[in-house]
Structure 1
Amino acid sequence: PDPRRDPASGALPPPVPPAGATAIQQAAAGGPTVSPSDLVAAEPPRAIVGDFVPDEVLVTVEGNAVQQIATSFGLEVRSQRRSQLLGATLVRFGVPDGRPVGVVLAQLAADGRTLRREPNHIYSLQQAATIVNYAFERIALDAKEASGENVRIAVIDTAIDDTNPALSGVIADQFDAMPEVPIAARDHGTSIDGLIAGVGALKGMAPGARIYHARAFEGGKSTMGVILAALDWAAEQDVRIINMSFVGPKNDLLGVACRNARALGIVLVAAAGNNGPKAPYGYPAAFDGVIAVTATDAKDGLMQQANRGAYVFLSAPGVEMVAPSGAGSDVVTGTSFAAAIVTGAIANLLHAAPDRSVDWVEKALAATARDLGPKGRDNDFGYGLLNIEAAEAAKE
């Protein structure tokens, strides 16, 4: 008989943690029960910028320690999956006891089993509520010759109305990153897909392109965890371009995913944002390697409510354009739709020469854009208005 066994209960005592063990190590070893509020933080509580889910954190973990981490820190495992773009297991932990997210992130930093720790930020679609599509003329793209035939494009947006005639034969596949949320709106995603590759009366910039559509928004909102799931699915479809017509705060997990998607040879296009000249930078547009698009009108004037900043890369039509919607068609305004115009235009470049790299695309668009503001790149228009005819003629 083991002399340590309790004669009454027959149970062995819990393992003894090493001398000087932290509260986290004691809890993990089955030692004294530690209140989560007493856990030692490895860094000061984080000041979190932007909206986020108040009782969740996103953590990347290597290995099989997810449940142990949850137990050690008084958290709930709400979801977990292996992320291709993050190269680790992405875990959505719930915080059931009301601790501030910034405190939980600081506490988790003390555990070497966690790789990255971020809030579950909230992102918003970039549509300004407000006639033939004037975009072809403004970006120097011949509507009769426009084609994105067989170019694979991912769109992360709302659900779509795939019965709209403009999307007939356009959608190659769909993925629902939030299946537990009922679908109420389909307009925004339908407009984006239609502007990129619509057919018939509402012809898009790149007819013939194959759209891989991920639903990740409802009520104009989504969370970082949902968006990352959509991005992973998009990367698995071997797409050449990803359109992200949404904006939110800076999040390191999103930055890593974008950087790794670009390393796979995917061109990333994002809306610069509709939150006004004094708004903070909008992400993912403001990450390096993402083409941030602002919106101009039929006279090449800047959309008044557009974000400004050094991250703005390119201008494209996005004010009062006719686009497909869940109800048939609508007049739309926003940097969301300007991003779709740029995505479709890039599909034309890749259709003409499939071997063109991400670097080539970015350099060609920057070098050939028509300057609209102060000489050179500026915070309002970026390099200027997209000129697809000139970009097509750029040297390889």
Structure 2
Amino acid sequence: MAGEFVPDEVLVTVDGDAGAVQQIAASFGLEVRSQRQSRLLGTTLVRFGIPDGRPVGAVLAQLAADGRTLRREPNHIYSLQQAAGIVNYAFERIQLDNKQASGENVRIAVIDTGIDDTNPALSGVIADQFDAMPNVPVEKRDHGTSVDGLIAGVGALEGMAPGARIYHARAFEDGRSTMDVILSALDWAADQNVSIINMSFVGPKNDLLATACRNARGLGIILVAAAGNNGPKAPYGYPAAYDGVIAVTATDAKDGLMQQANRGAYVFISAPGVEMVAPSGAGSDVVTGTSFAAAIVSGAIANLIHASPERSADDIEKALAVTARDLGPKGRDNDFGYGLLDTKAAANK
């Protein structure tokens, strides 16, 4: 099994009611740690605990023999993608006039850390919040504050899509989260009738996440994700590498690729994400990472939706691809994808 996961838990979708869940737990010597109906998975998602130290792989193999279990996966761990003047250079690089930029009333979900909603750049920006891990105290707020601010910040630290409405799901603490928490945040986001979901995190391949992303895209939601900061030899990063997800890599002020960016055929588009000034905590900071490049793309897409609300997710994705400014080898490549985002050209396509 690839990737890091919680060593004493498995995630299972179950065909049956609460009684069936308890029967499965009893049959296989498991604990029911949580269960809920998932909109995006279309079934009951159960987080089973393994109290006796059996390996996750062995438990998954045992569960596969029970017809009531539809899908069985490790509870994979995912991580945020942050590498360690005031007018953001991204506007110029992606051909977006900051005086005309607007994502007014476009609804965008962000799945990230908690935020500092007292930061002036987020004043009036946050439409609603959801805590997918309510039993874990909120200690880290910088990453989520930066992502929200780059998308739709106001004032001196104006984001790409001022006027957009951010629906913020806190699903990370200390830079990490688990599959069950992320799925809870995705379900909540889908229920908010958003047009875009920004996912500035990376982890291993997981069939439950793939299904949730596929079904969210089926609802017409545009999914934007960080390609990853784990270097050119790193494995593909998910959810970015799933079909229907726009995988974003990061470039600097001179359109050079961020050195620690992931590479691969899944990389879709490039956007500024190196040494960006962004809101952070109660103030601001200089941030780097594909997390922040993803936020730039989400904000740019909000501009396209605001200008032409009738455009479909497929149409917008195609426009981004054919209008991107080619970087690196001719055509789509594993470093820059289709090239540097060109918002103006995509709007006119």
Aligned counterparts of 1:101 and 1:63: Cα–Cα separation in 2: 23
Aligned counterparts of 1:134 and 1:252: Cα–Cα separation in 2: 38
Aligned counterparts of 1:79 and 1:375: Cα–Cα separation in 2: 49
1:52 aligns with 2:5: yes
Aligned counterparts of 2:66 and 2:309: Cα–Cα separation in 1: 45
Deviation at 1:327, TM superposition (A): 3.6
Which residue of structure 1 aligns with residue 106 of structure 2? Answer: 151
Given that 2:118 and 2:282 are in contact with CA atoms closer than 8 Å, whether structure 1 keeps it comes out as no
CA shift digits 1:249-288 (9 cap, x unpaired): 0000000000000000000000000000000000000000
Which residue of structure 2 aligns with residue 335 of structure 1? Answer: 290
Which residue of structure 2 aligns with residue 32 of structure 1? Answer: none
Aligned counterparts of 2:122 and 2:256: Cα–Cα separation in 1: 30
Within 5 Å, give how 1:1-396 maps onto structure 2.
Answer: 48-64=1-17, 65-129=20-84, 131-132=85-86, 133-394=88-349
Aligned counterparts of 1:118 and 1:95: Cα–Cα separation in 2: 13
Aligned counterparts of 2:45 and 2:166: Cα–Cα separation in 1: 26
The answer to which structure, 1 or 2, has the higher relative contact order (CA under 8 A, 6+ apart) is: 2
Say which one has the larger Rg.
1
Aligned length: 346
Given that 2:76 and 2:206 are in contact with CA atoms closer than 8 Å, whether structure 1 keeps it comes out as yes
Matched AA of 2:330 = K
Matched AA of 1:323 = A
TM-score, normalised relative to structure 1: 0.87
Matched AA of 1:54 = P
Aligned counterparts of 2:162 and 2:129: Cα–Cα separation in 1: 18
Residue range with higher mean Cα deviation, 61-70 or 378-387: 61-70
Identity of aligned residues (%): 86
* 2:70 alignment partner, SS class: strand
Which residue of structure 2 aligns with residue 45 of structure 1? Answer: none
Which segments of 5 or more consecutive residues in structure 1 lack a partner in the other structure? Answer: 1-47
Given that 2:146 and 2:278 are in contact with CA atoms closer than 8 Å, whether structure 1 keeps it comes out as yes
Which segments of 5 or more consecutive residues in structure 2 lack a partner in the other structure? Answer: none
CA RMSD after TM alignment: 0.4
Matched AA of 1:95 = I
Residue range with higher mean Cα deviation, 252-261 or 352-361: 352-361
* 1:141 alignment partner, SS class: coil
CA spacing shift, 1:327–1:164, aligned 2, 3 Å? closer
CA shift digits 1:112-157 (9 cap, x unpaired): 000000000000000000x231000000000000000000000000
Aligned counterparts of 2:13 and 2:309: Cα–Cα separation in 1: 34
Aligned counterparts of 2:69 and 2:192: Cα–Cα separation in 1: 29
Deviation at 1:63, TM superposition (A): 1.4
Aligned counterparts of 1:355 and 1:58: Cα–Cα separation in 2: 38
* 2:76 alignment partner, SS class: strand
CA shift digits 1:216-271 (9 cap, x unpaired): 00000000000000000000000000000000000000000000000000000000
Aligned counterparts of 2:155 and 2:217: Cα–Cα separation in 1: 32
Matched AA of 2:44 = T
Aligned counterparts of 2:282 and 2:4: Cα–Cα separation in 1: 31
Aligned counterparts of 1:75 and 1:207: Cα–Cα separation in 2: 48
Deviation at 1:197, TM superposition (A): 0.2
TM-score, normalised relative to structure 2: 0.99
* 2:318 alignment partner, SS class: helix
Which residue of structure 2 aligns with residue 36 of structure 1? Answer: none
Matched AA of 2:197 = I
Aligned counterparts of 2:275 and 2:282: Cα–Cα separation in 1: 17
Deviation at 1:373, TM superposition (A): 1.1
